[in-house]
Structure 1
Amino acid sequence: MSDDVTVAISALYLHPIKSCAGIGVREALLIETGLEFDRAWMVVDAHGRFLTQRELPRMALIVPTLKHTELVLRAPGMLALHLALDAVEAPTRATVWQDEVAAYDMGDLAAQWFSDFLGQTCRLARFDPEQKRLSNKKWTGDIDAENAFSDGYPLLVTSDASLADLNERLASRGAAPVEMNRFRPNIVLSGLDAFGEDHLDEIRFDTPEGEVVLKLVKPCSRCTIPSVDPATGVQGHEPGDTLATYRADARLDGAITFAMNAVIVKGIECGLRVGQTGTAGYRFD
């Protein structure tokens, strides 16, 4: 692979609880399943099946904060819920898409907190790190890419330029601009043209802990979640309607896409930092 373009990390995001609000961070540690603490917890229904903003857009209003030894959750009208990062309760099973995996229940207090806020019986599960949940080998090839509770890949990568392009199109349609948190990425890059990430093969970063190599393997198809307003938890139509006018991807049978799913080739236990520069090569296929 030739290094065709210089990129920089302009933002890093963690989403500790699947489908709840994300956290912008200055640095993050790469572990086998992606960024440490990303999608490590998940809200499930009474049968252990995952819940998301697709059914419950109000989940967007649950805001996590990482504080030393705790994950602190806040939501409108609720007292803060404090969860110890090093504590779980009973072993359980949880289902995310077609995968039933080993997990840990986070206890009755957390279950009541989520049930009260979301208006239905819920529990909170934490991914069991001994579980091996792998991405689809159709897209990852020889790489065994591990996931926690992400939809199917350990990292999601996009660019500032892609969002800027979308916001120009929204403005031309008389719609309000949107922020990057709608798309729930892990890594946002600068230095690319709009949707340049669609055509990248690998991204390399030299870190104090060693070399990081990330491979972009699959476009991210989009559901209704980007059209949920993160400030209100209300489902709308934009930016989904605008994306539908120009982001159908033949690789996914015409699905609407924004951002690229990525896997870790090299760099477990290395840190990524905002402002870090790297090199990326384009894919030729």
Structure 2
Amino acid sequence: MSAALTLTGLYLYPVKSLGGYAVPEAEVTARGLRHDRRWLLVDERNRFMTQRQLPDLALLTVAPAYNGFLISHRQRPDLLPLFIPLEATPERTLFVTIWDDMAWAWRGTPEADEWLAEALGRPCRLVYMSDMVRREVEPEFNPEGQLVSFADGYPFLLIGDAALADLNTRLAQPVPMNRFRPNLVFGGGAPYEDDAWEDFQIGAVPFRAVRGCGRCVLTTINQQSATKNPVGDPLRTLATYRQVEGSTLFGQNVTGAGVGRLRVGDAVTVLSRK
């Protein structure tokens, strides 16, 4: 009999491609965990910025604070931490582009833009997705009309502890889970067993594993130093045994019912398999 499955980690990333933090419990919303990737950095053309093009974003850490969060720079103690509220206000709006999607967003403050431009050495703007914006999951995998925040394409990313442990046995230097930026981490079971999951629940909250998550160069960026792993690991190693139709897969893209509350330690129950 396989080991019981449990939720071992819950992670929020309030600003896309900046640091995240663990939480003991989280509310599930239509776009993912509440406050996850509702903020976004855009360039002068209002196009989204990520560690793919700007690895130094990894140097910006995020920590929870009362009614908001603090952004700090790992290597710039001269920059006092920047407070950002959990939600913006609609005084100033603009259209932003993320992948092939265009959405309107609320602007953050000029002071935040100035702090971030100084930290990154380039102009940028901080913007927020309001509850009125409808950005949908990719249509061919979205018959229910599921929504997503500024995450790449799906409201949740699920990874098993056993999968990371298996990958690390294949690497010259093990990597932490933060390379893969999951929201939901589960313990128990065999490595990659979630490949076969379809419907499952965590506690009493229902979810659906839609498709494997294709990984990119971001997995090669050390989240402490913003430097890249030599010879492309762990992406190169994953490609030797986790490549399907040209995509290197690690973790599951997941949708959900959009309501409920999760707590670390909740039971994970698989209801159906592909």
Q: Give the TM-score of the pair, scaled to structure 1.
A: 0.90
Residue of structure 1 equivalent to 2:219:
226
Residue 21 of structure 1 aligns to a residue in which SS?
coil
User: Structure 1 residues 135 and 87 mapped into 2: Cα distance closer, same or farther (>3 Å)?
Assistant: closer
Contact 1:158-1:259 within 8 A present in 2 as well? yes
Distance 1:8 1:48 in 2: 40
Contact 1:5-1:280 within 8 A present in 2 as well? no
Contact 2:200-2:272 within 8 A present in 1 as well? no
Residue of structure 1 equivalent to 2:110:
108
Q: Deviations over 1:227-250 (max 9, x none)?
A: 00011011222111111111101x
Runs of 5+ consecutive residues of structure 1 not aligned to the other structure: none
Residue of structure 2 equivalent to 1:275:
265
Residue 28 of structure 1 aligns to a residue in which SS?
strand
Contact 1:248-1:257 within 8 A present in 2 as well? yes
Equivalent positions of 1:14-93 (< 5 A) are 14-75=12-73, 76-77=75-76, 78-88=79-89, 89-93=91-95
Decide which moves more: 34-43 or 60-69. Answer: 60-69
Distance 2:163 2:124 in 1: 36
Q: Deviations over 1:249-278 (max 9, x none)?
A: 1xxx221111000001x351x110111113
Contact 1:5-1:279 within 8 A present in 2 as well? no
Alignment RMSD, CA only? Answer: 1.5
Distance 2:46 2:216 in 1: 22
Residue of structure 1 equivalent to 2:180:
183
Runs of 5+ consecutive residues of structure 2 not aligned to the other structure: none
Distance 2:64 2:113 in 1: 19
Contact 2:32-2:258 within 8 A present in 1 as well? no
Equivalent positions of 1:251-270 (< 5 A) are 253-264=245-256, 266=257, 268=259, 270=260
Select the residue among 8, 22, 25 that pairs with 1:10.
8
Residue of structure 2 equivalent to 1:243:
238
Q: Quote how far apart the aligned CAs of 1:42 are.
A: 0.6
User: Structure 1 residues 129 and 267 mapped into 2: Cα distance closer, same or farther (>3 Å)?
Assistant: closer
Residue of structure 1 equivalent to 2:139:
137
Alignment-mate amino acid for residue 273 of structure 2: R
Residue 198 of structure 2 aligns to a residue in which SS?
strand
Distance 2:220 2:149 in 1: 24
Q: Give the TM-score of the pair, scaled to structure 2.
A: 0.93
Alignment-mate amino acid for residue 239 of structure 1: P
Residue of structure 2 equivalent to 1:213:
206
Q: Which runs of 4+ in 1 moved over 6 A?
A: none
Q: Quote how far apart the aligned CAs of 1:84 are.
A: 2.1
Alignment-mate amino acid for residue 124 of structure 1: L
Kindly tell me the number of residue pairs found equivalent between the two proteins.
267
Contact 1:220-1:259 within 8 A present in 2 as well? yes
Q: Deviations over 1:126-155 (max 9, x none)?
A: 112101111013123x21110110001100
Residue of structure 2 equivalent to 1:201:
198
Decide which moves more: 79-88 or 28-37. Answer: 79-88
Higher strand share: 1
User: Structure 1 residues 267 and 131 mapped into 2: Cα distance closer, same or farther (>3 Å)?
Assistant: closer
Q: Quote how far apart the aligned CAs of 1:6 are.
A: 4.3
Identity %: 35
Contact 1:6-1:280 within 8 A present in 2 as well? no
Alignment-mate amino acid for residue 255 of structure 1: S
Residue 134 of structure 1 aligns to a residue in which SS?
coil
